Structure 1
Amino acid sequence: MARYHLPTIYYYKPNGSSDFFDTGRLKEALSKILVPFYPIAGRLGYDENGRLEIICNAEGVLFVEAETTSVMEHLIGFQHTLGDGTAALHFISSWVNTSRGLSPTIAPFIDRTPIRARDPPAPKFHHVENDPSPVLKFASKSQSNDHKPSIVSTFKLTADQLNTLKAKANVANANCGIKYISFNILVAHIWRCVSKARVSPPIKIPSCVFQLMVDINWILLSHKATSAISAPDYSEKMSDLNTLVTGPRTFRCPNLPVVSWIWLPKYEADFRWVRSIYMGPGNVVHEGKIYILPSPVNDESLSLVTRLEIPHMKAFEKLLYEF
């Protein structure tokens, strides 16, 4: 579980309406929608056993109205401990509907009873996804504590570039007998580029290594149902839940988490004015994390938002477009 605050930013272009960006209406709608979504207005705390919990104390949320000469017009933050991207967009969508005088399309399901650990806990297997990453053989002794300067950058891949990448990947993997979907090809390409950018001399990568990655992915999916049942039991038996918390050690070099926002309804937040012209993360908290975002104009292009160490970012930018 990730424990950090994830800001998301929405850009809106003025449409000439006299009530454009009416903050009074926004606040009124927010106060209404927080009733069914009451955990969002809670506070993180710890119970008597030291376990993290959401304290629902009816204290509300902070709403800040500010003016700026920049082009930023709407900033929303979401605590990742509370939910994932789907949950965050569900709340935003419900807020939008309330602002427009409509009822939320889908009511939030707050009851956590179905996903609680069994009594007594009975994990089915050891959850290797919670084990610490192995130490690299070529890593220096100080690597684990070596926090090097990093930078956030955004890169755009057009529809033509994505089609070219897909065509070349399928030709290169013709002997494997499988044609891969665009998303898997893009993630494999990103992984290759980041790996080459991070390692000197570059790693020699076999032409069909992608087969292994895809097979592992399907193996994980096949155990998804069993894992969903076993995971709460596994965490319930842990004496120190902090060992399960993801943080910089699980994200930064040599790790590479890739998060897809392609299928999220990112640009549907229309508070009676107009659709947002951009929505994305306000920051990439950890080095080595990449977000894949869809185009706001439906031109089939994609954008990559990532944080990498400064020298790695320069090499990654060069390698990304070499295909």
Structure 2
Amino acid sequence: MVRVEIRMKESTIVRPAEDTPEKSLWSSNLDLLVPSVHIPTIYFYKPVNGSSNFFDPQVLKDALSKALVPFHHVAGRLEKDENGRMSILCNAKGVLFVEAETSSTIDEVGDFTPHSEMLQFIPEVDRSSIFSYPLLLAQATFFKCGGVCLGVGLHHILGDGTSAIHFINSWSEIARGLSLTTPPFIDRTLLDARVPPIPAMHHVEYDPPPTLNTHNSGDQTLEIQSNPKPTCAKILIITSDQLRTLKNKSRKDVVDGTINYSTFETLAAHIWQCTCKARGITNDQATKLHIPTDGRSRLNPPLPAGYCGNALFTTAILGLSGEIQSKPLVHTIAKIRGALKRMDNEYLRSAIDYSQVQTDLEALKRGPHTFNNPNINIVSWMTMPIYDADFGWGRPSFMGPAVVLFEGMAYITRSPSNDGSFMVFICLESNHMELFKEFFYDF
């Protein structure tokens, strides 16, 4: 991408339009296990002919202020309760909204590949104290061509991807003068552990992730851990025709011809297989696939519609690199389906209880050590309404992550063209990426 020079015009702290309750919002263990970062996403909008107030910042700020009434926790700040547990102080301190402009065009941004340069579309804040910065950062950047980028950073403690999209789409509904389709449900005690906690199952997702075998990297293992190799991210598009070809190829090896595997199961298996090949790891190398899995509908009773918080559990599948590479793709697809099927109410409640009995919850936190070589984390945004963020001037022409935070992370989203194609955003070591791309399209 061409270097885009951005000029900040105005920064505003937007507070709730009405008085909101001041209270401390308890965080579930699931809220505390996610990385303590703002998750950066970017929305690009093409100009609307004849619109005199295209992406009027005042309209956005007024709607945001109104949205912060039902979503009052978003306007709060991090705090620690009397037990030292991180929580959200709902104090109406507000969120950050920045107006910016650039002399570049949207076309000069390129194909929106996740990159550190994309972070300039999201406001930066002073991070010297985690208790002082806003939990929501938003920036509207106006391009010379008339288009706009809306960059959003939502702190992960506010919720997972489903919660983030729920908030942003609700903000857009208010901007269009509509009532909220789904009001937020903010009480997180629904995901508290049982009393007493009874972890009844082995939770492989919390076992330490496999590390590279010594003979894969010789004496460089410790050096790799302390000096990570350069990484890069790419967007790979798989069309509906290509997806059909991939599925048909995998079906040839299905013993029971009545089984129809999902698009996600097929793509996740394919990505895992291609990653093992591109990394060149040996056949006896253990590898773990992590799949963040929404528990909202898997729990019994299900969580209420509009639940705001992190409700993601981790489906984890272990395998040997040689097995993943050499066996028919359907073998890996079946492993993924079997693991996802096990994620029922009993397993999820056991997972919460398992986290509850740990003396150090920090030890279970996800991070680069969890997902990097030889492992992978595949996030599905395939069913999320990510293109419904219409603030009154049309749907976004693109939405995606500004960066992919860690090596070994991938996202799958629907293409904005709505033609049955999908986009895969993936971050790998730079010297593995071209090989991964070759394998990805070789089927």
The TM-score, its normalising length taken from structure 1, stands at 0.92
Does the 8 A contact of 2:75 with 2:95 survive in 1?
yes
**CA separation in 1, counterparts of 2:63 and 2:390?**
13
Determine whether 1:284 maps to 2:404.
yes
**Secondary structure in 2 aligned to 1:269?**
coil
1:173-200 deviations in Å (ceiling 9; x for gaps):
1446444333322221111111100015
**Does 2:193 match 1:117?**
yes
Separation (CA, whole Å) in 2 of partners of 1:132 and 1:200: 19
Identity between Structure 1 and Structure 2 (%): 48
C-alpha contact (below 8 Å) 1:51/1:241 kept by paired residues: no
Q: Deviations over 1:101-134 (max 9, x none)?
A: 1111111111122221233333333433212113
Name stretches of at least 5 consecutive residues in structure 2 with no aligned partner: 1-32, 107-147, 284-320
CA distance in 2, matches of 1:200, 1:222: 29
Query: Which residue does 1:184 correspond to in 2?
Result: 265
Residues in 2 aligned to 1:305 and 1:209: alpha-carbon distance in whole angstroms? 21
For the residue of structure 2 that corresponds to 1:169, the secondary structure is helix
Aligned-partner SS, 2:96: coil
AA aligned opposite 1:186: L
> Number of residue pairs matched?
322
Match in the other structure for 2:372: 252
Structure number with the bigger relative contact order (C-alpha 8 A, sep ≥ 6) is: 1
Report matched runs for 1:74-113 at 5 Å: 74-113=150-189
Q: Which moved more, 1:140-149 or 1:85-94?
A: 140-149
> Structure 2 CA distance, aligned partners of 1:53 and 1:192?
39
Q: Give the 3-state SS of the residue equivalent to 2:400 in structure 1.
A: strand
- 1:154 maps to 235
Do residues 15 (structure 1) and 48 (structure 2) align?
yes
Q: Give secondary structure in 2 for the equivalent of 1:73.
A: strand
Identify unmatched segments of 5+ residues in structure 1.
Answer: none
Q: 1:31 aligns with which of 65, 70, 78?
A: 65
**CA contact 2:233–2:428 (8 Å) conserved in 1:** yes
* Amino acid across the alignment from 2:200: K
2:279 equivalent to 1:198: yes
Shift of the 123–184 alpha-carbon distance from structure 1 to 2, 3 Å rule, reads closer
Letter in 2 for 1:309: E
Is the CA contact 2:216–2:281 (under 8 Å) kept in the aligned structure 1? no
Deviation at 1:261, TM superposition (A): 1.1
For the residue of structure 1 that corresponds to 2:327, the secondary structure is coil
Structure 2: how far apart are the matches of 1:199 and 1:90? 40
- Partner Cα distance (2:378, 2:400) in 1: 14
> Does the Cα contact within 8 Å between 2:57 and 2:99 map onto a contact in 1?
yes
Q: Which residue of 2 aligns with 1:2?
A: 34
SS at match of 2:66: helix
- CA contact under 8 A between 1:155 and 1:304: conserved in structure 2? yes
Could you tell me whether the CA contact under 8 Å between 2:40 and 2:152 is conserved in 1?
Answer: yes
Name the CA distance, whole Å, in 2 between partners of 1:289 and 1:212: 18
Selected match of 1:58 from 81, 86, 92: 92
> Which residue, 390, 395, 402 being the options, matches 1:275?
395
Measure the CA separation in 2 of the matches of 1:13 and 1:144: 43
CA distance in 1, matches of 2:339, 2:430: 35
